[in-house]
Amino acid sequence: MRNTTLCHIEKDGKYLMLHRVKKENDLNRDKWVGIGGKFEDKESPEECNKREVYEETGLTLGKVRYCGIVTFVSDKWETEYMHIFHTTDFAGRIKECDEGNLEWIEKEKLYGLPVWEGDKIFLKLIEENAPFFSLKLEYEGDTLVNSILNGEKL
């Protein structure tokens, strides 16, 4: 199993999203995802989040909200614990990312793009400013087959 972070950086009703089109054998290939990546040794979720955002975008984060944790279970990939963050507080200039194309996407339009079905659940929780949540998402291939929020089946 692995620990990762995912940050949704918001400005003017848009999220900075990464269209994953540059890496081969990418489990997120062709999907639109937030900004994040894998923990390094001895990192906290907050440290990993700040480092990954800087490495992928060139942006430095200010105050962030730690929104929740998502447990991804898949028949194809290892179990992943993804720590979800949101912010409107950042500085710097966006740089090119070697994992895909960065683009500001209107929040409403994001739901019509190729995103993981489960991402739509935690995006709504972020938008609703929900209290800290635990979300379990179970996939068979690319199909979401089960979702459990704070211990309750959705």
Q: Tokens standing for 107? A: 């929040």
**Average pLDDT of span 39-64:** 98
- Closest of 61, 49, 54, 38 to residue 94, by C-alpha: 54
At 26, is the pLDDT very low, low, confident or very high (cuts 50, 70, 90)?
A: low
At 98, is the pLDDT very low, low, confident or very high (cuts 50, 70, 90)?
A: confident
Q: Specify the pTM.
A: 0.94
Provide the pLDDT for residue 71: 98
Q: Assess whether pLDDT exceeds 90 at residue 21.
A: no
Q: Which residues of 112-145 are buried (b: 16+ CB within 10 A; e: fewer)?
A: eeebbebbebbbebbeeeeeebebbbbbeeeebe
Provide the pLDDT for residue 27: 66
Q: Assess whether pLDDT exceeds 80 at residue 35.
A: yes
At 102, is the pLDDT very low, low, confident or very high (cuts 50, 70, 90)?
A: very high
| Block residue for tokens 């966006």 | 94
Provide the pLDDT for residue 23: 66
**Average pLDDT of span 78-93:** 97
Q: How far is Cα 118 from Cα 15, in angstroms, rounded to an integer?
A: 17
Q: Which domains does the chain have, with CATH numbers?
A: 2-153 (3.90.79.10)
